[in-house]
Amino acid sequence: MLENRLISHNRASIQSDLDRLLKTVLPACIILFVMLVGVSQYTKPHISFVILYTIGAFVCTVCYIIVMRTTSYHLHLVTYYLTVIYVFCLCTFIGAIVRPQATGTSIVVLLALIPLLIPDSFLRVNGFLLFFYATYAFICFKVKPANVAIEDLVNTTCFTVVGFLLGNNYRHIKLVSFDLQRESKENEHIDFLTGLPNRRLMFLRIENSERKGSKLPITGVMMMDIDHFKKYNDNKGHLKGDICLKEISKLFTKITIEKNVEIYRYGGEEFVGFYYGHDEEKLDNLALYIIDEVRKLDIEFKESETKKVTISLGYTFGNDDENYGTNYLIDIADKALYLAKNSGRNTVKKI
C-alpha cells in the first residue's frame, strides 16, 4: 500500500511533525487544566469537574515529560493517542453525561480534528475515529432523550464524515510532501549517474568525523581512478562509459555495505574511500580486494593491455597518535594514486 510505504520511508519527518505538535499542544493543555482547577475554587462546580481537570493536567504533564525525554517514534504516537483519548473522555462527559438535554459541541470539533492532526496510518487514525464516534453515539442513546440523541447523532455523523474525507486527503498530501522533501535532500548528497554519495556528502562526513568524540573517525583514505578511462570513452562512446561507471559503482556500493568503508564519487572517473577501523592490515587487504573485484567484473576493454577495465588505487592509513586531519590523508592518498598510475596502473600503492 502506497501510504504504508510513505510512512515507513518518512518516519523521521512524521516524528518531527508530531514532536512539534505535542510540544505546542501539551503545554497549552496543562495551562488550561491548571487554570480550570484554579477557577473551580471560586465557581464551586461539581467535584467531578475538579477531578477531571486535575487528571487532565496530570496526564498532559506526564505526556509532555515523555515527549521531552524520548526520541522514540512509538512513544510519541502513544502520548498523542493517550492525550486524544483523555480529551475524548472529557468531551463525552461534558457533552453527554453532564448535559443530557443539549447537543454536544466540543465532541463534533474533536471528531473533525482527529484525522487532521497526525499523518499516521489509515487504519489507526480512522479506527480511533470510528471507535470514538460509535462510543459517543452509544452513550448518547443511553443517557439522552431520543430526540436529542438523534440530533446529536446527525451532528456527529456529519462531522465524522467531514473529518474522514478531509483528514485522509490532508494526510496523503502531507506524506507525499514529506517524501518529496526526503528525496530532494537525498539527491543533494547522491551522484545522479552512479548512485554513490557525492562530494557534498563526503565533506559533511569529514566534518562529522573530525568532531570531538566522533564514534566513526576516518582512519584510512583510498583514492581510486579508472585506468585509461578517456581512451575507453573515445573508443566505446560516452554511453558505454556511463555504463562502465555504473557497473563499477554497483560494486563499490556492495563493498560499502560489507566492509568498514564508504566510497564516494570524487569526480569524473575518480572515487575516494574512507576506511573506519584501527586495523591497518585489514585496510591493506581491502585495497587489494577492491582492485581484484574490479578486474573480476570483466568489463571488456580491448584497447588496453589487460583487455579489461581496471583501476589504480592509492591509499594511506592514519594512526591516532599522529592525529592527521582527513584532508591531509586525502592529499597523501592522492599522491599514492599517482605512484600507482606511474607504476603501470592496475595496481595498489601505499604511502
Does residue 104 register a pLDDT over 90?
no
Does residue 27 register a pLDDT over 90?
yes
Q: Which of 59-68, 211-220, 249-258 has the lowest mean pLDDT?
A: 211-220
**Is residue 299 very low, low, confident or very high in pLDDT (cuts 50, 70, 90)?**
very high
pLDDT averaged over the chain?
A: 88
What's the pLDDT at 321?
56
CB proximity list for 269: less than 8 A, separation 6 or greater: 225, 226, 229, 245
Contact 193, 242 (CB under 8 A): yes
User: Nearest Cα to 173, choosing from 332, 285, 10, 58?
Assistant: 10
Whether domain 199-350 has CATH 3.30.70.270: the reply is: yes
Per-residue CA distances from 42 to 37, 49, 113 (Å): 10, 13, 32
What's the pLDDT at 337?
95
Does residue 8 register a pLDDT over 80?
yes
Across the range 92-100, mean pLDDT stands at 82
What's the pLDDT at 229?
92
What's the pLDDT at 3?
81
CB proximity list for 239: less than 8 A, separation 6 or greater: none
Q: Domain coordinates of the chain in residue numbers? A: 2-189, 199-350
15-39 residues labelled b (16+ CB within 10 A) or e (exposed): bebbbeebeebbeebbeebbebbee
**Is residue 347 very low, low, confident or very high in pLDDT (cuts 50, 70, 90)?**
very high
- Tens of pLDDT, residues 250-275: 999 999 998 889 999 998 899 999 99
Across the range 129-142, mean pLDDT stands at 90
